[in-house]
Chain A
Amino acid sequence: MTVNDALFQYTLRLGDTNLILGQRLSEWTGHGPFLEEDLALTNITLDITGTAKSLLEYAALVEGKSRTADDLAYLRNDRHYFNAQITELPNGDYARTIVRQAIIDCFDFYFYTELAKSKDETLAGIAQKSIKEVTYHLRHTASWVERFGDGTEESHNKAQTALNELWQYTGELFEMNEIDEILIKEGIAVDLNLVKAKWEQYMTDLLQKSTLVKPENVFMQTGSRKGIHTEYLAFILAEMQALPRMYPDAKW
């Protein structure tokens, strides 16, 4: 695998993770638990979808085969998507959406902080912009985890259930393969072991503060680095890609 191939695959992985998460989150727009929160979550959704767009535009450029970001988003099937599985899971109730979001926001915060130092200027630039956004996202979602954990019995139970169900999808976030190895050597990619230690520490503190129990010895699901997904992703794509697939000659 050439460095350029690895860079394409790496950027695609990051772009897909943001795109699918944004797609899921956007299902909440107009249906949030109250108006201010609806606006706040939509804001997060917008940032994440914007990051996806920048990353996929860069991936298209790196690939150099005259595919566009829209081609990448709308004309690949699930086996060629590399988003982390946790992003494609259904939103569930608001506790589940928030717990997932806090897990990812925390990951993103430390991840983009490292990526901002990348020797690849475009990735570093996208990361710098993203850090500003993610800092706000994490503040928002972590404060909700705390409210749910230490709020009512019902909110506590919902948050704990979400945590127990989602934890098995967190291992994937830190998996590295040949793509990472090649790009770490070039000073382009992030060593996810560094991110993992910081993420663990933050989550441990947050959950403790929220009176929630951190799941231990959980079996970790895997597959997305190879394009293996849950059953949910193909449905997401069927919905998202419907128009460009139905009207292949059309421009929108």
Chain B
Amino acid sequence: MEINKFEEVFEGKLAKNEMVEPKDWMPENYRKHLIRQISQHAHSEIVGMLPEGNWITRAPSLRAKVVLLAKVQDEGGHGLYLYTAAETLGISRDELLTNLHTGKAKYSSIFNYPTLTWADIGAVGWLVDGAAIMNQVMLQRASYGPYARAMVRICKEESFHQRQGFEIMTHLAFGTADQKAMAQDALNRWWYPTMMMFGPPDADSPNSENAVKWRIKRETNDQLRQKFVNQTVPQVEYLGLTVPDVNLKWNEAKKGYDFSEPNWVEFKNVISGNGPCNKERLAARNKAHDEGAWVREAAQVFAKKRSEVYAAA
């Protein structure tokens, strides 16, 4: 078959809403786009363990401790499915990790913000995981099979995480005055960074067009952001907290809220390494990897020794 025949088959699958599988032919740009998107997603899960893990030893009740541990572990599990999905595209985990550790690969910028109080653990679960779900629900129908299937599992767990975050916020918002203030402060600090998670406005989003065309993405950044605001504002009201945006107003004509854009200059700064915790996050990942080198080596040497013993027997 000539290349254009392969392309016809590929385009046909997209048109018929069929899955593209690892052994199928795919355009090089499609493969590259997927490797970039899936590995960024995997890195985000792994780096995301750090800000939340920051509060495991200080979780204020035994139940909160167990739930948070389980949650952070889930994020690690998501990282694992996603690295595995990325590997089906012909790139090794080592290569992916090297890209993360050297700063070549990106991860979600939200994790470059610090978790300063216990309320931040609530806000991360509620807002950040809430925004992630909004991004990810459509990925369950993404055109690449291994990615779509990983996302089905991930989405189920993420919606549990969002409830866990909201539960923390509920305890705080309906708790003592100090707790409520802690909840409001967390909302103030996480609102705009969460809005940034949907990416730059459509007009400035370089990767969106292909992603929609290839059915890797089904809604645009701005559509998703609007949806998120519409969904979240009533939750803020339920908690008796205030969205830190004086321009927030219901717009009957569009059946949605008008709201202020996040600070896109800050967004660019955080992406390019100047966020409050970029250096710490990368340093923590590098430290864990470097200090784990002898562990991984011991496991390999041991496995080799044992297989030689079996071979000789």
- A sample of 25 inter-chain contacts (CB < 8 A) reads A26-B69, A27-B57, A29-B53, A29-B56, A30-B53, A33-B291, A34-B289, A35-B76, A37-B292, A42-B72, A49-B62, A49-B66, A52-B62, A94-B291, A94-B292, A147-B298, A150-B302, A151-B298, A151-B299, A152-B298, A154-B298, A155-B298, A250-B60, A250-B178, A252-B171
Nearest B residue (CB) for A37: B295
Q: Answer yes or no: B273 CB below 8 A from chain A CBs.
A: no
Q: Answer yes or no: B282 CB below 8 A from chain A CBs.
A: no
Segment with Cβ contacts to B, from A3-11, A69-77, A113-121, A181-189: A69-77
Q: Is the interface of B mostly helix, strand, loop or mixed?
A: helix
A146 to B58, Cβ gap below 8 A? no
B79 to A35, Cβ gap below 8 A? yes
| A50/B66 contact (C-beta < 8 A), A27-B57, A43-B73 known | yes
**Which residues on the A side are within 8 Å of B77 (C-beta)?**
39
Option from B49, B53, B76, B301 in Cβ contact (under 8 Å) with A152: B301
Smallest CB–CB gap between B31 and chain A, Å? 23
B292 to A247, Cβ gap below 8 A? no
A250 to B175, Cβ gap below 8 A? yes
A33 to B50: give the CA distance in the assembly, Å. Answer: 14
Residues of chain A from 26 to 68 with CB closer than 8 A to chain B in the complex: 26-27, 29-39, 42-43, 45-46, 49-50, 52-53, 56
A30 to B70, Cβ gap below 8 A? no
A239 to B176: give the CA distance in the assembly, Å. Answer: 22
| Residue among B60, B61, B292 with max Cβ neighbours from chain A (10 Å) | B60
- Chain B: residues with CB nearer than 8 A to chain A? 46, 49-50, 53, 56-58, 60-66, 69-70, 72-73, 76-77, 79-80, 83, 118, 168, 171, 175-176, 178-179, 284, 287-289, 291-299, 301-302, 305
B60 to A73, Cβ gap below 8 A? no
Smallest CB–CB gap between B158 and chain A, Å? 17
Query: Interface extent on A, as a size class?
Result: 35 or more
**Which residues on the A side are within 8 Å of B56 (C-beta)?**
26, 29
| Residue among B62, B66, B287, B301 with max Cβ neighbours from chain A (10 Å) | B62
A26 to B80, Cβ gap below 8 A? no
Smallest CB–CB gap between A98 and chain B, Å? 9
B60 to A39, Cβ gap below 8 A? no
| A151/B301 contact (C-beta < 8 A), A33-B292, A34-B296, A42-B72 known | yes
A146 to B287: give the CA distance in the assembly, Å. Answer: 25
**Which residues on the B side are within 8 Å of A49 (C-beta)?**
62, 65-66, 69
**Which residues on the B side are within 8 Å of A107 (C-beta)?**
none
B288 to A154, Cβ gap below 8 A? no
A31 to B60, Cβ gap below 8 A? no
**Which residues on the B side are within 8 Å of A151 (C-beta)?**
297-299, 301-302
Q: Answer yes or no: A249 CB below 8 A from chain B CBs.
A: yes
A31 to B294, Cβ gap below 8 A? no
Q: Answer yes or no: A23 CB below 8 A from chain B CBs.
A: yes
A251 to B295, Cβ gap below 8 A? no
A239 to B57, Cβ gap below 8 A? yes
Q: Answer yes or no: A93 CB below 8 A from chain B CBs.
A: yes
A69 to B65: give the CA distance in the assembly, Å. Answer: 13
Nearest B residue (CB) for A155: B298
A31 to B80, Cβ gap below 8 A? no
A152 to B72, Cβ gap below 8 A? no
14 more CB-based (< 8 A) A-B contacts, given A29-B69, A46-B73, A73-B62: A19-B62, A29-B56, A30-B49, A30-B50, A31-B284, A33-B296, A53-B62, A53-B63, A147-B299, A150-B305, A152-B301, A155-B298, A251-B175, A252-B118
Nearest B residue (CB) for A23: B57
Nearest A residue (CB) for B168: A252
Q: Answer yes or no: A158 CB below 8 A from chain B CBs.
A: yes
A191 to B234: give the CA distance in the assembly, Å. Answer: 59
A36 to B83: give the CA distance in the assembly, Å. Answer: 12
A31 to B287, Cβ gap below 8 A? yes
A36 to B80, Cβ gap below 8 A? yes
B46 to A35, Cβ gap below 8 A? yes
Q: Answer yes or no: A81 CB below 8 A from chain B CBs.
A: no
Q: Answer yes or no: A242 CB below 8 A from chain B CBs.
A: yes
Option from B46, B60, B70, B76 in Cβ contact (under 8 Å) with A252: B60
| A35/B69 contact (C-beta < 8 A), A94-B292, A155-B298, A240-B57 known | no
Nearest A residue (CB) for B287: A31
Q: Answer yes or no: A243 CB below 8 A from chain B CBs.
A: yes
A132 to B214: give the CA distance in the assembly, Å. Answer: 47
